[in-house]
Amino acid sequence: MNIIGIDLGKTVFHLVSMSPQGTIIGRKKLSRPQMLTYLANVPRSLVAMEASCGAHHLGRPLESHGHEVRLIPAQFVRPFVKSQKNDYMDAEAIAEAVQRPTMRFVPIKTEDQLDLQALHRVRDRLIFRRTSVINQLRAFLLERGIVVRTGRPYLRKRMPALLAEANSTSLRECIDCSA
């Protein structure tokens, strides 16, 4: 079974085909539609890509065409990149890395798994930003000699009193906006 290493891009993909012995038998630069058409007409192969944006989306149709698809974490591909890094060299490194018997792979995620992952990432970002705003507000208050205990519930509890006591219209607006 031939091995195809794909360096993913947004619109252009670089493919390097290798024989089972590791000899390069072809290089191609294709657009997304061209790549899917090309791989639909290629005999069953081991297709390898870095586990990055779009890899899971591409992996599913390639599997439906009968290819064996393996996604490799980027940090495991890096040691296989030779000098003069470019897209073809990256694709070649991916094709070489997939042949390693001890290589670890990322399973292709379903649409539901990707949706859940996106939901968790957005939630984490919102919590991080909320915490940043709370800490910034506590720092503004501390500059005015108002000490508020660490923790969102304590700030929320003190918010009405802080708004009533605020001498500065700007500070009152800042507190009111972050509530």
Q: Is the pLDDT of residue 108 over 70?
A: yes
Whose CA is closest to 8, among 80, 57, 64, 44?
A: 57
Residue with tokens 């909320």: 130
Neighbour-count burial of 30, counting CB atoms closer than 10 A to its CB (0-12 exposed, 13-18 middle, 19+ buried): middle
Q: Is the pLDDT of residue 43 over 70?
A: yes
Query: Whole-number mean pLDDT of the chain?
Result: 89
Q: Is the pLDDT of residue 34 over 60?
A: yes
pLDDT value, residue 45: 94
Neighbour-count burial of 68, counting CB atoms closer than 10 A to its CB (0-12 exposed, 13-18 middle, 19+ buried): middle
Q: Is the pLDDT of residue 22 over 60?
A: yes
Q: Is the pLDDT of residue 171 over 80?
A: no
Q: In which element (H, E) is residue 6 found?
A: strand 3-7
All CATH 3.30.420.10 domain ranges of the chain, comma separated, are: 3-109
Alpha-carbon span 166 to 85, nearest angstrom: 58
Whose CA is closest to 163, among 177, 147, 153?
A: 177
Share of the chain above pLDDT 90, in %: 57
Nearest 5°: phi and psi at 58? -75, -30
Instruction: Tell me the whole-structure pTM to 2 decimals.
Output: 0.74
User: Are 96 and 5 contacting, i.e. CB atoms less than 8 angstroms apart?
Assistant: yes
Q: Which fold has domain 3-109?
A: Nucleotidyltransferase; domain 5 (3.30.420)
Q: How confident is the model at residue 128 (pLDDT cuts 50, 70, 90)?
A: very high
Quickly count: other Cβ atoms within 10 Å of residue 130's Cβ. Answer: 12
| The one-letter amino acid at 144 | R
Q: Is the pLDDT of residue 100 over 70?
A: yes
Q: How confident is the model at residue 68 (pLDDT cuts 50, 70, 90)?
A: very high
